[in-house]
Structure 1
Amino acid sequence: MAQGIPDDVMMNAALIKDLVDVAKDAALQQGVLMRIQETPNSSEMVTYTSFTLFPTPVPKAPFLQALALQTHYNTLVDKISQDPDFLQDALASTIAVDDFTARLFRIHQQILKEGRSQSIVLGLNRSDYMLDQGEDGKLSLKQIEINTFAASFGGHSSRTTDLHRTILKVAGLLEDSQRIPDNNPAAGLAGAVAKAWELYGSERAVVMFLVEDNQRNVFDQRFIEYELWKRNVPTTRKRFEDVCKSGSLDQDKRLFVDGLEVAVVYFRNGYMPQNYVSEQYWDARLLMERSMAVKCPDISTHLAGTKKVQQVLAKPGVLEKFFPDQPQVAEQIRATFAGLYTLDMGPDGDKTVAMALAAPDRFVLKPQREGGGNNIYGSEICEVLEGMKEGTERMAYILMDKILPTPSKNYLLIRDAPLQISNCLSELGAFGAYVRRGKDTVMNECVGHLLRTKGSEHSDGGVAAGVAVLDNPLLF
């Protein structure tokens, strides 16, 4: 079986032109849409969300490995969120120098002090990987990060499967179209939200999507909303500003916003410092955390997704503490870790600095930030580290081995960009969903996957950032 798209298809200019027309129309028909940058809050003008013309070849074994691991990653994140001593120790150095993480941590401490109002926990996360090509040529699955907050494109990736199958059929590649695996994260993510809503126990109460002021990516989220509506679960979309103006708790700590009782707060906003434009926004976050509403994620799960926690988990013996009776699970998770190194003050951190300065192209420097576009690469690592190698501000970062995937050829369909064949790198994400009530796990599933692809000239970047595009695995 040929692994990828045959060269006679890839290089046939007339066919490619026809396929691009079919592909863009199919994307619009499937709802793989984004509002345009000029009018991010209006659906009068929309365009297709950027995507690859063809699906990208992905070996079946590591693909299945990522999906199989996801329930264990769900369990790990949930256990970390319930271990305040671990979070305190892991984040101690970071919160000393990183104001944003410190503010989140203060909310976490206040909630611990008051006692959690809600025993129902809802987690929707996505663990992201690349296939690293070792010196021996072998491919291994290596984790980039786990997103415990606002993991996006579960909606769109539920629709791109049919999009790529259609393109392959039009190209005469009927057999290849069957190598694209089924995928419907929107239904799985919504299923977990619906379960949390049901456990909350009030049919009148709503699921509140807490959304950004600029909502270009509204359609991706709408797919999850539609799945909830199908299940007769009421939803509303509110911004921080709405919670500031009309959010309140009653004597039972039930949360009300604009007169609606909120059963579940699904945070799609609040993971970056710039999301908190005033003290009132921080007050609104605390109000929601203190409430009876189920939070996705709650504050301790938000902290469990930090880069510093990722680095601490890679230390010898740490994973085993979370899986004392399942050493094989700890081993399976550890096998996906790239090298992760501390920049704390002291000999270990000094060693990391020296290593990074000696060979910056081998590493990625990561701050405690989500949302794409924050990481530092190559010679820029030297510039940043030289400026702070003796100072405590270096503790706000971690260092990670750079993963080296094998490039593939594809066409990236990006609005207003020239159509050309590109050298591409891909990133695979596995979506996880879990619900716990008290000590009982009610649901723990891998609910689908996401493949994103970018031109190999780009170091960093997500789809919303305009660098990566949506894709599908073509399994071989």
Structure 2
Amino acid sequence: MALSFPDLSGAALDDLVEKLTHYAISNGLVIYPPDFKVYQPSVAPVTLYPTPFPRAQFHKGVDISTRFNDLYSRVVVDKSWLKEVIADLSKYDRDFTGMLYKTYLEAEPKIVQPVSLGLFRSDYMLDTVSNSIKQVEFNTVSVSFGGLSPKVGQLHSFLNSQGLYGTPQYYQETDLPTSQSTDGLANGLFEAVKYYETSEKTASTIVLFVVQPGERNVFDQRAIEYSLFAKGVKSERVDFDKIISSVKVDSSHKLFYKEQEVAVVYYRSAYAPSEYNHPDSWKARLLLETTKAIKCPSLLVQLSGAKKVQQLLTDRAVLEKYGFADEELLSTFVQIYPLDASEQGQLAKKLAFEHPERFVLKPQREGGGNNVYKEDIPGFLRSLDEKEWGAYILMELIVPAVHDNKILRNGDVLNEGIVSELGVFGTLLFNETDGTILRNDYAGYLLRSKTSTSNEGGVAAGFGCVDSLYLHD
């Protein structure tokens, strides 16, 4: 049975907020606000208390993380199937999925590096109907907050150990796990660098972070960079729209930045259409894809994270093809429908208009703020030509618990109740051509929460906050 949340108010709550703020700033649990100056970070939106989560369901998410990594590697290696799926999807989403696919097809005959690195995150909500975790999505590009997640666990453990939740300690320390995601993700990058240096018989290479200009979540990224540096690997950062003017490729297809050989290109950008507005954006993506540097992710790995692929992988027959049709994975899926001309697609269109309150409509987009929920679905679909509906999937809503936690955002304490999403990180180094898996590791966790009145959950997009776990039986 889970403990209730600490009941703090008045001076005790003010004291907690002050000490939380000081700890967060002192330990880099920060983010830039909109329109920031470089010297003006602020405390990242965060919960005051850790949020309860069933111990067995948390460990289930951890235990299956490497199997999801393996599953997606097999999808990528099965190029004919994946290309067929993406080619069909591209008809509906020409401007983004279509362009990613077009760029891949152009790169395909010139690809000289078959080894690829995935830094993945499988997101779950605890469904109160089944009391089990259900997968929200599987992320294959630019997974965020692995650098801040450990700091939230450390923050809540510190506040608990100081008696600020209740004396002597409100929670048992063994029930407050701290994520190892900073080092876990850095380890994935490190292993890719070591593989590259061994195979290319070189040394002193770098990881090139490809980032958004004016990145507000830079401290999350820097934490991984600093962990990587502690292992002896240097990183550099370059804006996505400055790639063409900043890098060089030699006659053996090796990539260089500021005269330094690049072992790994790590994308913390390039996942949204708005990032491809520069005239050289697609040219840059093509250029990087055809170098010897290991991509994290490659174009094909990024495309494997499409919502359409997630929808197809909920089909037992598809999972059986890849050898993963077991109840442990299947039990994490909710019903996901296409919105196409298939029999399932026709059923989905009927459900979307007759029972929209049961569903969320998702496009092929990342980063928060793109989904359409419940009663908004029929009107949104009517606003589109029906030919465009195929760009979306209709996903059964998960029914999460609402917890009485509080969020600290911009100095204000929000007390509206929260719902939470568990992200489980994994790293995968594998050969896209022959399927050889070189490394497959669990890499820590993230808990994100949002006010229960908010549909969207992106922290950087302004919808949610970072949180940590209180495990209970």
- Give your verdict on TM over 0.5: yes
Alignment partner, residue 317 of structure 1: 317
Deviation string for 1:185-231 (max 9, x for gaps)?
Answer: 11111111011111111323210000101211111011111111111
User: Using a 3 Å threshold, how does the CA distance of structure 1 residues 249 and 146 change in structure 2: closer, same or farther?
Assistant: same
Alignment match of 1:22 (pick from 12, 19, 24): 19
Which amino acid counterpart does residue 470 of structure 1 have in structure 2? V
User: Using a 3 Å threshold, how does the CA distance of structure 1 residues 420 and 105 change in structure 2: closer, same or farther?
Assistant: closer
Alignment partner, residue 209 of structure 1: 209
| Cα offset, 1:439, TM superposition | 4.3
Report SS of the residue matched to 2:346: helix
Alignment partner, residue 98 of structure 1: 93
Which amino acid counterpart does residue 260 of structure 1 have in structure 2? Q
Report SS of the residue matched to 2:280: helix
Separation in 2 of the partners of 1:360 and 1:466?
25
Q: Does 1:435 align with 2:429?
A: yes
Alignment partner, residue 10 of structure 1: 7
Map 1:441-452 → 2, pairs under 5 A: 441-452=437-448
Gapped regions of structure 2 (runs ≥ 5): none
| Residues paired across the two proteins, number | 461
Alignment partner, residue 297 of structure 2: 297
Report SS of the residue matched to 1:279: coil
User: Using a 3 Å threshold, how does the CA distance of structure 1 residues 379 and 327 change in structure 2: closer, same or farther?
Assistant: closer
Report SS of the residue matched to 2:112: coil
User: Using a 3 Å threshold, how does the CA distance of structure 1 residues 177 and 10 change in structure 2: closer, same or farther?
Assistant: farther
Alignment partner, residue 425 of structure 1: 419
Report SS of the residue matched to 2:428: strand
| Cα offset, 1:30, TM superposition | 1.6
Q: Does 1:112 align with 2:78?
A: no
Contact 2:27 2:151 in 1 (8 A): yes
Which amino acid counterpart does residue 104 of structure 2 have in structure 1? H
Q: Does 1:394 align with 2:386?
A: no
Report SS of the residue matched to 1:408: coil
Alignment partner, residue 408 of structure 1: 403
Deviation string for 1:366-386 (max 9, x for gaps)?
Answer: 000001110001222011122
Contact 2:241 2:278 in 1 (8 A): no
Q: Does 1:270 align with 2:263?
A: no
Alignment partner, residue 159 of structure 2: 167
Among the aligned pairs, what percent are the same residue?
A: 36
Separation in 1 of the partners of 2:20 and 2:216?
21
Separation in 2 of the partners of 1:4 and 1:422?
19
Report SS of the residue matched to 1:232: coil
| Cα offset, 1:89, TM superposition | 2.6
Alignment partner, residue 364 of structure 1: 360
Deviation string for 1:95-138 (max 9, x for gaps)?
Answer: 01202101111122223333x3113221101000001121xxx4
Alignment partner, residue 123 of structure 1: 118
Q: Does 1:249 align with 2:245?
A: no
Deviation string for 1:340-369 (max 9, x for gaps)?
Answer: 001112443222111111011100000000
Alignment partner, residue 288 of structure 1: 288
Which amino acid counterpart does residue 24 of structure 1 have in structure 2? T
Alignment partner, residue 153 of structure 1: 145
Gapped regions of structure 1 (runs ≥ 5): none
Report SS of the residue matched to 1:58: strand
User: Using a 3 Å threshold, how does the CA distance of structure 1 residues 439 and 349 change in structure 2: closer, same or farther?
Assistant: closer
Report SS of the residue matched to 2:458: coil
Separation in 2 of the partners of 1:421 and 1:460?
17
- Name the Cα RMSD after superposition: 1.6
Separation in 2 of the partners of 1:290 and 1:247?
13
Contact 1:165 1:178 in 2 (8 A): no
Which amino acid counterpart does residue 366 of structure 1 have in structure 2? K
Alignment match of 1:68 (pick from 45, 63, 67): 63
| Cα offset, 1:421, TM superposition | 2.4
Contact 1:196 1:435 in 2 (8 A): yes
Alignment partner, residue 219 of structure 1: 219
User: Using a 3 Å threshold, how does the CA distance of structure 1 residues 231 and 344 change in structure 2: closer, same or farther?
Assistant: same
